[in-house]
Amino acid sequence: MASEKIRKVVEMSGISFGVRVGKQGNRKSWSLSRLGTRFWSWFWFILGALYFLLPLYATANFSLRMERDVIGFKAYIRAFEDPEFLKTFLYSNVLALLTIVASIILIVPTAYWIRLRLPEARRIVEFITLLPFVVPAIILVFGLIRIYSSPIKIPFTDTTLFQPLTTFEVGTDILIVAGYMVLGLPYMYRSVDTGMRTVDVRTLTEAAQSLGASWFTIIVRVILPNIRAALLSGALLTFAIVVGEVTLASFLGVPAFGPYLFLLGQHRAYEPAALSFASFLLTWVAMGLIQLFTGGQGQAAGAH
Amino acid sequence: MSYLSISNVTKQFGDAVVVDNFNLDIEKGEFVSFLGPSGCGKTTTLRMVAGFEIPTSGRILLDGADITDKAPNQRNVGMIFQSYALFPNMTVAQNIGFGLRVRKEPEAMIKQRVDEMVGLINLEKHANKYPYQLSGGQQQRVSLARALANRPQVLLLDEPLSALDAKIRVSLRAEIRAIQKSLGITAIFVTHDQEEALSISDRIVVMNVGEMEQVGTPFEIYNFPKTRFVANFVGSLNTADAEVVDPAKGLVSMDGVQLEAAEGTDGRKKGDKVKIAIRPERLSFASEQKKANVVDCIIENITFLGAVVRIQVKIGNTKFNMDTFNNPFLELPKIGAKEQVTCSKEAVLVLDD
Spans in chain A with pLDDT lower than 50: 1-22, 296-304
For residues B115 and B132, membership in a common domain is answered with yes
- Chain B residue numbers with beta carbons less than 8 Å from the beta carbon of A208 are 87, 98, 102
For residues B287 and B219, membership in a common domain is answered with no
Total count of residues recorded for chain A: 304
Do A210 and B50 make contact, defined as CB atoms within 8 angstroms?
A: yes
For residues B196 and B252, membership in a common domain is answered with no
Q: For residues A183 and A96, is the Cβ–Cβ distance under 8 A?
A: no
> How confident is the model over B241-268, as pLDDT tens digits?
899 999 888 899 988 888 999 887 788 8
Q: For residues A239 and B128, is the Cβ–Cβ distance under 8 A?
A: no
Do B51 and A211 make contact, defined as CB atoms within 8 angstroms?
A: no
CB pairs under 8 A between A and B: 83
Whether the complex's predicted ipTM surpasses the cut of 0.85: no
Q: At residue B343, does pLDDT exceed 70? A: yes
Domain CATH number, residue B96 = 3.40.50.300
The region that residue B256 occupies, defined by phi over 0 for left and psi between -120 and 50 for alpha, beta otherwise, is: left
| pLDDT at residue B153, as a whole number | 94
Give the pairing of strands B154-158 and B77-80. parallel
For residues B265 and B187, membership in a common domain is answered with no
Task: Kindly state the greatest CA–CA separation across chain B.
Answer: 76
Q: For the residues of B216-274, what is the DSSP string, one character each?
A: E-HHHHHHS-SSHHHHHHSS--EEEEEEEEETTTTEEEETTEEEE-SSS-TT--TT-EE
For residues B197 and B285, membership in a common domain is answered with no
The alpha carbon of residue A111 is apart from the nearest alpha carbon of chain B, in Å, by 19
Do A199 and B147 make contact, defined as CB atoms within 8 angstroms?
A: no
Domain CATH number, residue B318 = 2.40.50.140
Do A304 and B132 make contact, defined as CB atoms within 8 angstroms?
A: yes
Average pLDDT of span B71-99: 94
For residues B208 and B184, membership in a common domain is answered with yes
Helices A24-63 and A270-303 pack at an angle, to 10 degrees, of: 140
Q: Decide: helix, strand or coil at residue A304.
A: coil
Q: Decide: helix, strand or coil at residue A260.
A: helix
The alpha carbon of residue B44 is apart from the nearest alpha carbon of chain A, in Å, by 14
Which residue among B72, B130, B143 sits closest to A209, beta carbon to beta carbon? B72
Query: In the predicted model, what is the mean pLDDT of chain B?
Result: 91
Q: Name the residue in chain B with its Cα closest to that of A225.
A: B89
Closest CA to B62 of B5, B14, B15: B5
Measured CA to CA, the distance from residue B70 to residue B154 in angstroms comes to 15
Average pLDDT of span B192-206: 93
| pLDDT at residue A300, as a whole number | 41
Interface list for chain A against chain B, based on CB atoms closer than 8 Å: 199-200, 203-204, 206-214, 217, 221-222, 225-226, 228, 297, 299-304
Residue B46, C-beta contacts closer than 8 angstroms, at least 6 positions apart: B34, B156, B158, B188, B190
Q: How many domains does chain B have?
A: 2
Domain final position from B231, B253, B284:
B231
Q: At residue B334, does pLDDT exceed 60? A: yes
For residues B260 and B214, membership in a common domain is answered with no
Domain final position from B215, B231, B247:
B231
Measured CA to CA, the distance from residue A32 to residue A15 in angstroms comes to 14
For residues B114 and B242, membership in a common domain is answered with no
Q: At residue B289, does pLDDT exceed 80? A: no
For residues B66 and B190, membership in a common domain is answered with yes
| pLDDT at residue B57, as a whole number | 95
The alpha carbon of residue B129 is apart from the nearest alpha carbon of chain A, in Å, by 11
- Chain B residue numbers with beta carbons less than 8 Å from the beta carbon of A301 are 88
> How confident is the model over A244-293, as pLDDT tens digits?
899 999 999 899 988 998 888 888 888 888 888 888 888 788 778 767 76
Domain range enclosing B12: 4-231
Do B88 and A226 make contact, defined as CB atoms within 8 angstroms?
A: yes
Dihedral sign, Cα of residue A82, residue A88, residue A92, residue A95: positive
> How confident is the model over B15-48, as pLDDT tens digits?
999 999 999 999 999 999 999 999 899 999 999 9
> How confident is the model over B112-136, as pLDDT tens digits?
999 999 998 889 899 999 999 999 9
Domain final position from B175, B201, B231:
B231
Q: Name the residue in chain A with its Cα closest to that of B102.
A: A213
For residues B177 and B304, membership in a common domain is answered with no
Measured CA to CA, the distance from residue A218 to residue A220 in angstroms comes to 6
Measured CA to CA, the distance from residue A102 to residue A175 in angstroms comes to 12
| pLDDT at residue A27, as a whole number | 67
Q: Which residues pair with B312 in a beta bridge?
A: B301, B321
Q: For residues A300 and A242, is the Cβ–Cβ distance under 8 A?
A: no
For residues B227 and B261, membership in a common domain is answered with no
Measured CA to CA, the distance from residue B281 to residue B283 in angstroms comes to 5
For residues B86 and B167, membership in a common domain is answered with yes
Q: For the residues of B177-196, what is the DSSP string, one character each?
A: HHHHHHHT-EEEEEES-HHH
| pLDDT at residue A244, as a whole number | 85
Helix (H), strand (E) at residue B238: strand B238-246
Task: Kindly state the greatest CA–CA separation across chain A.
Answer: 94
